[in-house]
Amino acid sequence: MGGAQLERPSGARPGVCVRRSFRAHAGDQPRRPPGPIPAPGTMKQEPAAPNTSPASQSPTPSAQFPRNDGDPQALWIFGYGSLVWRPDFAYSDSRVGFVRGYSRRFWQGDTFHRGSDKMPGRVVTLLEDHEGCTWGVAYQVQGEQVSKALKYLNVREAVLGGYDTKEVTFYPQDAPDQPLKALAYVATPQNPGYLGPAPEEAIATQILACRGFSGHNLEYLLRLADFMQLCGPQAQDEHLAAIVDAVGTMLPCFCPTEQALALV
């Protein structure tokens, strides 16, 4: 289930800060800096059922899901794409932070959430990169939340998205010296929706042209860029920044300036 090995060009920096800040909707309210519970979206949080065992059937029966050492019924799930603003499953805790050894890339095709069969959108996956660092949000699910979250994510990420599961080490922003084992959904080159690398300008053009059942592909890009802005200057993603810059250059060519945000 390991991702493809990413070769970094000689002399390339690990990443640069996302320089633009966009709102996916003109009416969005400003969001507070990330903390234990990240703001916006339809995030759901409710108390865990204390004595409820998770269902025995999991989305990938062969996988050994990472568990919290202090609670055998607890599981951390790491999100680095749309999960950072819209998990849509109940959880007990959430923490902003990062995983090392991976870089985020818009290399996975999406024919459902952000695109169609004729015009697949571009969404992110993780690629192995020993110099990489990817920021996101880890959600803790406990008790009966575990089976419900995994069942939901199996459909959203695996069945409709083409993602597989992988264990990663997550470093919380507020306690990087206390890493956690977490479950991440990663799209590998072996899945049929994988698109692979392309110039950032080409990816931006594709994103601007695609829409799926979850909304416009541009919304996906801008919400992710917005999240990275809130993480602070230490959060860097050169690939994301280049696509955002390309979109900022191209967007006036696709529609009048005053209607730009109406795309999403």
Q: Are 122 and 131 in contact (CB under 8 A)?
A: no
* DSSP string computed for 94-138: EEEEEEEEEEEEEEEEESSSS--SSS-EEEEEEEEEEEEEEEEEE
Confidence of residue 251 (pLDDT cuts 50, 70, 90): confident
Q: Is the pLDDT of residue 36 over 50?
A: no
Task: Choose among 227, 248, 252, 247: nearest CA to 237.
Answer: 227
Confidence of residue 66 (pLDDT cuts 50, 70, 90): low
| pLDDT tens, residue by residue, 147-170 | 999 999 999 999 999 999 999 999
> How large a percentage of the chain has pLDDT more than 90?
65
46 in active site: no
Instruction: Kindly state whether residue 3 falls inside one of the protein's structural domains.
Output: no
Instruction: Kindly state whether residue 157 falls inside one of the protein's structural domains.
Output: yes
- pLDDT of the residue at 52: 33
Count of structural domains, the chain: 1
Catalytic residue among 157, 167, 219, 238: 157
Distance CA 118, CA 125 (A): 21
Distance CA 143, CA 129 (A): 34
Statement: the pTM of the whole predicted model exceeds 0.85: no
Q: What is the CATH number of the domain that holds 60?
A: 3.10.490.10
Residues 240-261 as b/e (b if ≥16 CB within 10 A, e otherwise) read bbbbbbbbeeebeeeeeeeebb
Distance CA 115, CA 250 (A): 19
Instruction: Kindly state whether residue 215 falls inside one of the protein's structural domains.
Output: yes
- pLDDT of the residue at 73: 79
Instruction: Kindly state whether residue 68 falls inside one of the protein's structural domains.
Output: yes
Instruction: Kindly state whether residue 169 falls inside one of the protein's structural domains.
Output: yes
Which residues form the domain of 125?
54-253
Instruction: Kindly state whether residue 36 falls inside one of the protein's structural domains.
Output: no
Residue 3's alpha-carbon distances to 60, 64, 97, 222, in angstroms, are 17, 17, 20, 25
Instruction: Kindly state whether residue 1 falls inside one of the protein's structural domains.
Output: no
Instruction: Kindly state whether residue 203 falls inside one of the protein's structural domains.
Output: yes
| pLDDT tens, residue by residue, 68-94 | 555 667 999 999 999 999 999 999 999
